[in-house]
Structures are given as C-alpha cells and as structure tokens.
Amino acid sequence: MREAAVVSTPNPLQRIPGVAIVLVLLVALFSAIAPGFLSVANLSNVLVQSTILTMLALPMTLIIMTEGLDLSMGAVLTLTSLCVAIVSLATKSMLLGLGAGLLVGAAFGVANGWLVAILGIPPFVATLGTLGMAQGLSLIVSDGQSVVGIPHGVRDIYSATLLGIPVPIVMALVTYAAFHGLLYHTRFGTYIFALGGNREALRYAGLSPNKLLIAVYAIGGAMAGIAGLLMTARMNSGHPTAGLGLEFDAIAAVAVGGTSFERGNGWLLGTLLGVLSVGVLRNGLNLISLPSSVQVASVGVLVIVALFLDGLRSRA
C-alpha cells in the first residue's frame, strides 16, 4: 500500500483481464457439465444472488483505489439490515425503514472516513475497530434475536419484477451505472483517482483530500445501508449476524476484478466480473453437487488463479 507511480484511467480494450478469462471459462465449463445451468431461471438466480455483494464491491473499488480498505462493510450491512427491520416493524413503513438503514450506514461511513482522514489511523485498523462496534451494536439492539413480522412492502422488493426483470438486478444495474458515471465522467471521479495516486495534486488545486476521503467512505456506508434493505427483504427479517464476512468477499471480488491495491487503478467492470465469477462458481458447484469441502477449496483456487493470470498479463 505505497504511493502509486502513475495514475491512469483503465482502457479495457488494451487487455483481456484475468477475470474475464476466468468468467468465460467458468460459464463454458458449467454450461457443459451442470444440467440446468444455462436456464433462464438459474442465470437469473445467479444475477440476483450477486446483487448484495455488487452493492458492497462497487464502493469498495473506490475505497481501494484511495489505497484504503473497509473491513466494516459486512458488520455495517448487518446493522443496517437490523435497523431496516426494526424501524419498518415499528413504523409499518418500508421507506422509513430504508431511511433508517441509509442513515446508520452513512453514519458509519463518515466515522470510518473521519478515523482515516482526520485521525490518520490506517484504514485496516480503523475499519477493524468499527467492525467490532457495528457487530456489537447489532447484538445490542437485537439482543441476539432475529427481528420478524416486518411489513410485506420490504419483502416484496426482493421478489418483485420490473418489466420482467427482478428488482434487485435493476437496482444493481442502476447502481453500476451511477458508479460508472461518478468515477469516469465527473470531476469527483478524477479526484478519487488522485486520492489514490497523487494527493499532492489535490492540495495544489485547493481541494481537501480529507473531505474527499470521508465522502468516499460515506458512500461505502450508504451503499451498505441499501444492501441492508435488500438483505432484510431477502430474509424477511433482520438478523444480528447475517452479513458478517461479506467485506472479504467484496475485497476479493475487487482484487480478482483487476483493481490493484498498489497502483490506484480502478476498474468497475472488473469488479462486477469478479462478483459474477464467484457467484457463477458457487452456483455451478452446487448444481453439480460437488462436496462442500471441495467447494470451499475451489473459491480459494479461483481467487489465486485470477490474480495469477492478472499478474502474468501486467508483466508481459
């Protein structure tokens, strides 16, 4: 996690990234050996199952581009999922529940940003600390119990369709479009690249890297809030440990997708492909009923192979 030598905008046409190869190979493999893989129902499942992780991995890409990390995302997701459940149960309103989730998520995001930017605590440590705090708060507000009985409006979000496309997929597509626009077509996006490679340039331009950094982490927190709504909708309940550990999946997806920890490069599409690769792998392995221990090992192999291929390419 050192200073980057170069800030560059990614041009996917210049290279075929490791993750794309991996994804294509996986899809080809499972189409051949897993009956039912290529069905509309199954592919739709894979996409829907990947939406929550996508919501976390996209902001994580931005955070990693600033040479940071957010380990608290899974725990914050769990907490916001609980908030959505508790508030919508109490007020019978899905919107208020969503608002509560967004608020709590953004608050943790701002806290993370403050710890990292103002107090100067390394992101790994700062977010490790907020992870504990979010986890603790989840246990405290729920007393270790699931929260059930929430209004149907919440649940329907996960199962409803818009023009035949499941709502979660629509949400993920909109999110992706928003992040893409933000990163590649706004000034704020160029600032994010600068945060990763060239903070001095920001100061010379009269901008405050600290405020920008806080904004990036706040976006992460807010996205955890939206993902919390999806999680609660999926389980039709809030649960005090449901989302723990997802941040590592998100980080792995970002890394597999080609965003490097060290160069301040960011490739959103790569992150999306990374999320899909893991989703396709899990789905395919389930369909061919491979023993669970082998499935576990396969995830590790996937991650290593994808990064290895990526490393080969950048050295070529």
Partner 1 sequence: MKQKLGYLTLPLLMAAAFTTQARADGETIAVFTKNQTNPFFQTVRVGADNMAKTLNAKTLQYIPTKPDSIPEQLSQIEDVVVKKPSAIVFTPVDYKAMVPGVEKINEAKIPVVNITDRSAGGKFLSFVGADDYSLGLETARFLLKTLGGKGNIVIIEGVKGSLTNVDRVRGFNDALKEAPGAKLLASQPGNYQRLQALQVMENLMQSNSQIDGVLAANDAMAVGAIEALDGANRKAQVIGINGTKEAIDAIKSGKLLASGDYNGFAQGCLGTMMAIRSLRNEPVISEIVLKPTVITKDNYQPFDVPLEQRKCPTFEEAGKLSAK
Partner 2 sequence: MTDITKEAMMPPRSFLSQDAVQVFYRLLAALLICAVLAVLSDSFLSLGNILNVLRQASLTFFIASGLTLVVLTAGLDLSVGANVALSACIAGTVIHKTGSPALGILTGLACGGLVGLLNGIMVTALRIPSFIATYGMLWVLNGLTYWYMAGETLHGFPAGFRQIGSGYLFGLPIPVYLLLVFLGIGTFFAQRTVWGQEIYAIGANPVAARLSGIPVARRLLLVYAVSGTMAGLASIIFLSRLNSAEADIGESLTLPAIAAVLIGGTSLFGGVGTVFGTFIGALILTLVLNGMNLLSVSANWQPLVTGIIVILAVWLDMKTRRRAQ
Which residues contact partner 1 (rule: CB under 8 A)? 35-36, 39, 41-42, 45, 48-49, 52, 139, 142, 144-146, 148, 155, 158, 231, 234-237, 239-243, 245-246, 282-283, 286-287, 289, 291-293, 295-296, 299
Structure tokens at 217: 């982490």
State the virtual CA torsion across 23, 183, 125, 225 in degrees, nearest 10: -80
Q: Which does 307 bind (CB under 5 to 8 A by kind): partner 1, partner 2, none?
A: partner 2
Binding partner at 137 among partner 1, partner 2, none, C-beta below 5 to 8 Å by kind: partner 2
From residue 279, alpha-carbon distances to 42, 77, 78 in Å are 11, 19, 20
Judged by beta carbon distances under 5 to 8 A according to partner kind, the member of partner 1, partner 2, none in contact with residue 311 is partner 2
Look at residue 162 and give its three-state secondary structure: strand
Q: In whole angstroms, how close is the CB of 104 to partner 2 at the nearest point?
A: 15
Residue 281 Cβ vs partner 1, minimum distance, rounded to whole Å: 10
CB nearer to partner 1: pick between 115 and 281: 281
Query: Which of 115, 275 has the CB closer to partner 1?
Result: 275
Nearer to partner 2, 24 or 125 (CB): 125
Structure-block tokens of residue 104: 């709590």
Torsion of CA 24, 28, 31, 34, to 10 degrees: -100
Q: Closer to partner 1 by CB, 28 or 140: give it.
A: 140
**In this structure, what DSSP letter does residue 6 have?**
-
Residue 174 interacting entry, from partner 1, partner 2, none, C-beta within 5 to 8 Å by type: none
- Least distance in angstroms from the C-beta of 92 to partner 2: 27
Chain positions contacting partner 2, by CB under 8 A: 1-2, 115, 119-122, 124-126, 128-137, 139-140, 143-144, 248, 251-252, 255-256, 260-262, 291-304, 307-308, 311, 315
Structure-token pair, residue 80: 């916001």
C-beta closer to partner 1: residue 42 or 91: 42
H or E stretch at 278: helix 268-287
Name residue 297's amino acid: A
Cβ contact 242:81 at 8 Å? yes
CB of 178 vs partner 1, minimal distance in Å? 23
Amino acid making up residue 61: T
229 and 101 in contact (C-beta within 8 Å)? Answer: yes
Please report, for residues 26, 89, 220, 294, the alpha-carbon distance to residue 56 in angstroms, rounded to integers and kept in the order given: 23, 25, 7, 26
Q: Which is nearer to partner 1, 190 or 236 (CB)?
A: 236
